[in-house]
Amino acid sequence: MSNYHIKHLEEYFKTHRKSVREPELFWEEIAEEHFVWRKRWDKVLSWDFRKPEVKWFEGAKLNITENCIDRHLRMKGDKTAILFEPNDPNAPAEHITYNRLYERVNQLANVLKSKGIKKGDRVCIYLPMIPELAISLLACARIGAIHSVVFAGFSSNALSSRINDSECKMVITSDGSYRGSKTIDLKGIVDEALIDCPCVEKVLVVNRINAEIELKEGRDEWLAPLLETASTECEAEIMDAEDPLFILYTSGSTGQPKGMVHTTAGYMVYTAYTFKNVFQYRENDVYWCTADIGWITGHSYIVYGPLANGATTVMFEGVPSYPDYGRFWQVIEKHKVNQFYTAPTAIRALAKQGGSFLEDYNLSSLKVLGSVGEPINEEAWHWYNDNVGKRKSPIVDTWWQTETGGIMLSPLPYITPTKPTYATLPLPGIQPALLDESGDEILGNQVDGRLCIKFPWPSIARTIWGNHQRYKETYFSAFDNMYFTGDGALRDEVGYYRITGRVDDVIIVSGHNLGTAPIEDAINEHPAVAESAIVGFPHDIKGSALYGYVTLKEAGEERNHDNLRKEINQLISDHIGPIAKLDKIQFTKGLPKTRSGKIMRRILRKIACNEMDNLGDISTLLNPEVVEEIIKDAQQ
Ligand code: WT7
């Protein structure tokens, strides 16, 4: 009996029970029936969260691109694999069939090889949302190179620190990118980043915007001429199940981003399985996820999960507001999109425009609506449900993380009754637990606590690149023998989960996971700044926005505050990217601290959120008097 495709609620419960009782048998059956392996595994799972170490399908040999491309060629070579919708609404969409994808991936794989890239080498990909981006991931996977995609909105500083952390030998980029009516000079950003990256030997450049750029002799080359002469056949490198497939950076609570390492077999099995069930994908459906491939959502649910199922996946280069706020709806109508997966921040931005943009378009193809990246508030949920889904398309509120590789909590559409703001139930294979502050599991319903996962699932990140100790400390030290997510959650009377938000120093702004520490580090580089602390506060569209408290080295300098504010935001833009800019900056004489010198963010957060009457006990602070002053200034 195949468990692969769940169709009824009873079946979901049965499958989940089986996955808890016999996890190895459960995943083994799925792996066996739905993928091609060059060699079968010797052992389904070995794990120890205390070490920590997790291995799935040990001993198996495979190549993920044979599963995502080659095996579909016989039955659906002419089916569209990637449907590319460009930024310019008047430019033609591009239908890349599985046959053509096979050729293009192999050509690029051959180019990479000819430039000296071998199995295990790291390749940084810094590209806009164009087909070459997806093809680059797959070409790396074809030859066993480890891809490290850096979102093309990150600054040159952020790019160079990521390149250096994993010592990438190559960067694949483009001459520039389109973003609505603007163009962005990506190659210029790469050039600046590479001043500090001695490890990079080669840069391959896609021509996207016909920009006049400089090619550095011996280092940079246009990609197109190399592809033209490359063979369309490239033997797939045979990988071990636990060989790294990619590194993807996520922010943490210290300055250095964490390079999460995902491995081959488990990641493939889990993303494919969850894609099929969470979106209830059927053979001729057109599926569209609006995320950028620079984030895990794009890796798992634009590229690997859909292609492993032989699906048609839309790649959109543009933005929701260009040429106007009807763009998403126009694309849905044009391509008759069946499953649409986006972020609450986009939903709120579109809701703010009202329903008028929607009226012009026929959205009747839609069957499933997805949400990801941050808690979806009740208002946005209803707007999405009423106006986009016309109360006919269930919303799947999918909770997961870069670290989890795939969706962990989500309703199954047409199967699990939905409830606004609830990610509802764990997918098969997932064993969530809520823990209290002393580390005890909270049983029963109508409770809340810190969200942990008790048992490994196939796509859990295996380590942080180059820093296994940090991996252990971040995820496996807060609670014994558990993976700690960093999120708080509640479980309602029927056992549904609702994510209440981060309980650490990570703030989710417009769905982007931002650590406070790297932002504070950037601010503190300003010569006038002594100290800073960042907290989140509620924002209509972004969900949360950033509020910075900054103390200056010399009193009086704040008189120049407008300039200082600009300079501080410029520093943040340079170091991280414009997404991390502060909405509010308050200059203060001091920051509230504990007696051991730790900044009390809890108090600053309350002030930023305008919850001053409920600050809790501040008498134990080292400097309670600064709190009064901060409140006074905040209210001005
Ligand atoms: C954090 C992970 C998963 C891909 C995109 C984000 C928050 C994510 C939800 C949701 C409430 C959510 C959590 C999580 N988050 N999805 N459906 N409801 N919160 O990946 O950048 O690694 O961020 O995003 O706080 O821990 P990420």
% residues pLDDT > 70 (the chain): 98
Instruction: Give this prediction's pTM.
Output: 0.92
Model confidence at 620: pLDDT above 80: no
Alpha helices in 229-294 (DSSP H): 264-278
Q: Token pair for residue 222?
A: 């246009």
Give the Cα-Cα-Cα angle 216, 220, 222 (nearest 5 degrees): 125
Domains annotated on the chain, with CATH = 506-634 (3.30.300.30)
How many angstroms separate the CA atoms of 580 and 560, rounded? 22
Whether 372 is in the pocket of ligand 1, judged by its Cβ within 6 Å, is: yes
Q: What is the mean pLDDT of the chain?
A: 95
State the closest ligand 1 atom to the C-alpha of 403, by its place in the atom list counted from 1. Answer: 22
* Burial status of residue 411 (CB atoms within 10 A of its CB: 0-12, 13-18, 19 or more): buried
Distances (CA, A) of 622 to 33, 555, 594, 595, 611: 62, 21, 5, 5, 21
Model confidence at 144: pLDDT above 50: yes
The pLDDT tens digits for 56-112 are 999 999 999 999 999 999 999 999 999 999 999 999 999 999 999 999 999 999 999
Cα 501 to ligand 1 centre (Å)? 9
Structure confidence at residue 584 (pLDDT): 95
Whether 400 is in the pocket of ligand 1, judged by its Cβ within 6 Å, is: yes
Model confidence at 12: pLDDT above 70: yes
For residues 149-174, average pLDDT = 96
Long-range contacts from 50-54, C-beta under 8 angstroms, 24+ separation = 50/476, 50/480, 50/481, 51/472, 52/471, 52/472, 52/475, 52/476, 54/456, 54/460, 54/462
Whether 292 is in the pocket of ligand 1, judged by its Cβ within 6 Å, is: no
Identify which of 377, 399, 500 to mutate to test ligand 1's pocket (most ligand atoms within 8 A of the CB): 399
Stated as kind and residue range, the H or E segment containing 259 is strand 258-263
Question: Dihedral sign, CA of 465, 470, 472, 475?
Answer: negative
State the closest ligand 1 atom to the C-alpha of 400, by its place in the atom list counted from 1. Answer: 3
The pLDDT tens digits for 560-573 are 788 999 999 999 99
The pLDDT tens digits for 16-68 are 999 999 999 999 999 999 999 999 999 999 999 999 999 999 999 999 999 99
Nearest C-alpha to atom 10 of ligand 1 is from which residue? 399
- To which residue do tokens 């002594």 refer? 530
Q: Token pair for residue 551?
A: 């103390």
Closest CA to 236 of 120, 131, 119, 123: 119
Cα 185 to ligand 1 centre (Å)? 30
Structure confidence at residue 251 (pLDDT): 81
- Place 613 in a pLDDT band, splitting at 50, 70 and 90: confident
For residues 529-555, average pLDDT = 92
Q: Token pair for residue 447?
A: 């409770």
- Cα of first residue to Cα of last residue in the chain, in angstroms, is 67
Structure confidence at residue 1 (pLDDT): 47
Identify which of 253, 499, 516 to mutate to test ligand 1's pocket (most ligand atoms within 8 A of the CB): 499
Cα 401 to ligand 1 centre (Å)? 5
Whether 399 is in the pocket of ligand 1, judged by its Cβ within 6 Å, is: yes
Closest CA to 187 of 175, 179, 197: 175
Q: Token pair for residue 114?
A: 């000819």
